[in-house]
Amino acid sequence: MLIAQNGINEGSEAEVYGWVLSIREQKTLSFIIVYENRKQVQLVIKDKKLMSSQLKQNSVIWAKGTIKITDKAPNGFEIHVSSLKVLSKPKKLPPFNIMSTDVPALDLRLDFRALDLRRPYNINLFTIRSKALQYFREYLISKDFLEVQTPKIIATASEGGAALFPLMYYDKQAFLAQSPQLYKEELTMSFERVFEIGPIFRAEPSRTLKHLSEAISLDVEAAFYKNEDLMDFLEDMIKYVINRLYEKEGDALKRIKAPTLDISKKFPRYSYSEVVSWINKNLEEIHEGEDLSSKHLEAFGDHVEGFYFIKDWPLKLKPFYIQPKDGDYSNSFDLMYRGLELSSGGERVHDPALLRKGLKRTGLSAKGFKYHLEVYNYGMPPHGGFGLGVDRFMMVVTGAENIREVVLYPRDVRRLVP
């Protein structure tokens, strides 16, 4: 916290509350960099008596002094300190230096995540993440979408049977929601266009660089949107958010050495069958109808580069609620960045008889979806939508190779604490 009654002007008095990032002692002067509300402030200490053994990296301090305008200090000013108090002193030697250019291993950093989040890299990264979410909301609200919150404790699977986290709900079995899918679809009946930013839970059995047990999904659902409209919308939203980040958060992006994403061209749209042909020609033999593996997607992603869509997937690879197309295919798409799937979506079934067929096709019992099926008897509009993995989007924006880097307290098969 910085209190400067008369603003940041040469000679005015200021008080600062913050924690110490670094201390540099010279013969006659000491320089202390303090973080106050995610901004760095330089303190200059001439009076050696103000320096104490309690003053070290990570100490929380209060200081008072006079402002001097200088472009040598972060944010263009420094405070020449006349009084200083240590409010909280670290009781232990930290397991790593938050200023070190030698970044400790991720697992160690995650064990001490609260401390790790004091690293300037992370302060920049999580500021960018928060801003990205602000710009997503900005875009969606400007298109007249309503933000909603749906239950995360649910009675039946929304994405099919696998990867559910069961829990006891009083005397019944319940599950953590894999996605807001069924609720967001139902909500198009009343609100037409909705979005939700919230957690999804997947009991992912293996530890990979792109899967979490708890991820944040940005879900969009809209009545009357067709497959191509949805891809147009998603592409426009991604470009809007990236442009806003480049316009407004350039400084933080530069500090974390984020890559520059080329979004100048239209994202190419390949059908699933076109991708299969490419794999057959350039990689290995696969059959129409087979799912595409990470290896396939990575090779195809290297070939395409940047963002692209894969559309018209075989129906058998898609959940029960996806609208069939030409018999064995579906009105669906995935948004990819190189080999990484960022989003999937498509047009949905709105006819109750067809929805029952979809449940049967995917081996789910209509009984478990009784309430959801009932809704479809009261005039369900044609609709469609998508789910965008926010954490994966942040990997692309920041250039992180491990999804855990862009999540405050990641959850995976091995990690439940902190």
Binding site for ligand AMO (CB under 6 A): 159, 179, 181, 202, 204, 211-212, 215, 217, 219, 341-345, 385-387, 389, 391-392
Q: What is the C-alpha separation between 287 and 274, in angstroms, rounded?
A: 12
Q: Which is nearer to ligand AMO, 204 or 232 (CB)?
A: 204
In angstroms, what is the minimal distance from the CB of 252 to ligand AMO? Answer: 23
B/e letters for 144-182, b = 16+ CB within 10 Å, e = fewer, are ebeebebeeebebbbbeeeebeeeeeeeeebbbbbbbbb
Residue 237 structure tokens? 């939203």
In angstroms, what is the minimal distance from the CB of 27 to ligand AMO? Answer: 52
Q: Which is nearer to ligand AMO, 77 or 300 (CB)?
A: 300
In angstroms, what is the minimal distance from the CB of 247 to ligand AMO? Answer: 25
Q: Which is nearer to ligand AMO, 181 or 398 (CB)?
A: 181
Angle between helices 120-142 and 390-398 (to 10 degrees): 120
Q: Which is nearer to ligand AMO, 59 or 332 (CB)?
A: 332
In angstroms, what is the minimal distance from the CB of 202 to ligand AMO? Answer: 4
In angstroms, what is the minimal distance from the CB of 222 to ligand AMO? Answer: 11
Going through 103-159 in order, the beta strands assigned E by DSSP cover: 146-147, 153-154
Residue 376 structure tokens? 């479809």
Q: Which is nearer to ligand AMO, 119 or 211 (CB)?
A: 211
Q: Which is nearer to ligand AMO, 120 or 410 (CB)?
A: 410
Q: Which is nearer to ligand AMO, 18 or 345 (CB)?
A: 345
Residue nearest to ligand AMO (CB): 389
Residue 318 structure tokens? 């898609």
CB within 8 A of 231, min separation 6: which ones? 267, 269, 309, 311, 333, 335
The C-alpha torsion from 43 through 49 and 54 to 55, rounded to 10°, is: 10
In angstroms, what is the minimal distance from the CB of 310 to ligand AMO? Answer: 11
Q: Which is nearer to ligand AMO, 297 or 342 (CB)?
A: 342
Backbone angles phi, psi at 383, to 5 degrees: -155, 170
In angstroms, what is the minimal distance from the CB of 166 to ligand AMO? Answer: 17
- Give yes or no for a contact between 224 and 217, defined as CB atoms under 8 angstroms apart: no
Q: How many other C-beta atoms lie within 10 A of the C-beta of residue 186?
A: 20
Q: What is the C-alpha separation between 191 and 137, in angstroms, rounded?
A: 17
Q: Is 11 left (phi over 0), alpha (psi -120 to 50) or beta?
A: left
In angstroms, what is the minimal distance from the CB of 413 to ligand AMO? Answer: 10
